[in-house]
Amino acid sequence: MPFFDVYADYSVLDYVSDLIDILLVWFVIYKLIMLIKGTKAVQLLKGIFVIIIVRGLSSIFGFNTLGWIMEQALTWGFLAIIIIFQPELRRALEQLGRGRLFSRSGLQDEEEQEQMIESITKAVSYMAKRRIGALISIERETGMSDYIETGIGLNAKISSQLLINIFIPNTPLHDGAVVIQKRQIAAAASYLPLSESPFISKELGTRHRAALGISEVTDSVTIVVSEETGAISITKNGELYRNLSLEDFKEMLTLELMVNASSTKWTWKGKKADG
């Protein structure tokens, strides 16, 4: 058969080469999906899939006009994507350049992570004692670029002094959330989605609802300092942990963010609020 004739001269090395080729393609696709996850490009990707499906169905059922329209949309759509999403593509290329091949050692990353946790803890301690309201969301695997774009871009090194200064009342950036991305303060005064859960206690304000809301749609860790009581809370995976002591707060933050500590089980005797 012709199909088998094509592969008759294939050696084991050729099969291995093809397998590696396929795995590399899947790896690139996976990285691209992770890169656009949590951004507006996800909706665009869904639209492209719909067009491809409609194009295939129109060929099967003989809808020539509809098929031609979908064909034109695919042909010229990629040019439109390059023009419309030029900032996102540029950012993607920059992230590629800062990828693992050019990254620093794991030890340096761990030290930076520890410094970030220390700075956040120091800032939260200061604000809790003085009842300065704060909302800080830390990006993990799920991208938060859409929420970063709603705020004022900073791309600043994390420090306790800067975090405190951002949330001082009656300053231009104190309303909204600080979003931390790749161990940098990516933006301040960002808007986070409010949770629509009917089980949230009425005593909780907008900051807590926003913290719960973002934890329901991303895997971020979000910190809230209450303006009324100075209480420290953390949200993750749609759950709110209230009235944390500073020691519990730092321990939980460390176990959530430090890679080497992620396997340790953390238990807390405080109040986990579902409502």
* Mean pLDDT of all residues belonging to the chain: 82
| CATH number assigned to the domain comprising residue 266 | 3.40.1700.10
Domain match, 245 and 119 both: yes
Amino acid identity at 82: I
Residue 166 lies in a domain: yes
User: What is the model's pLDDT at position 177?
Assistant: 96
Structure-model confidence comparison of residues 237 and 75, the more confident one? 237
Q: Range with the lowest mean pLDDT among 145-149, 184-188, 211-215, 270-274?
A: 270-274
Inform me whether the pLDDT recorded for 132 exceeds 80: yes
Q: Which helix (H) or strand (E) holds 108?
A: helix 106-129
Q: What is the CA radius of gyration of the chain?
A: 24
Q: What six digits make up the tokens of 80? A: 């439109």
Over range 60-73, report the average pLDDT.
Answer: 86
- Which residue range(s) make up the domain with 52? 11-101
Number of domains comprising the chain: 2
Q: Range with the lowest mean pLDDT among 7-16, 33-42, 45-54, 200-209?
A: 33-42
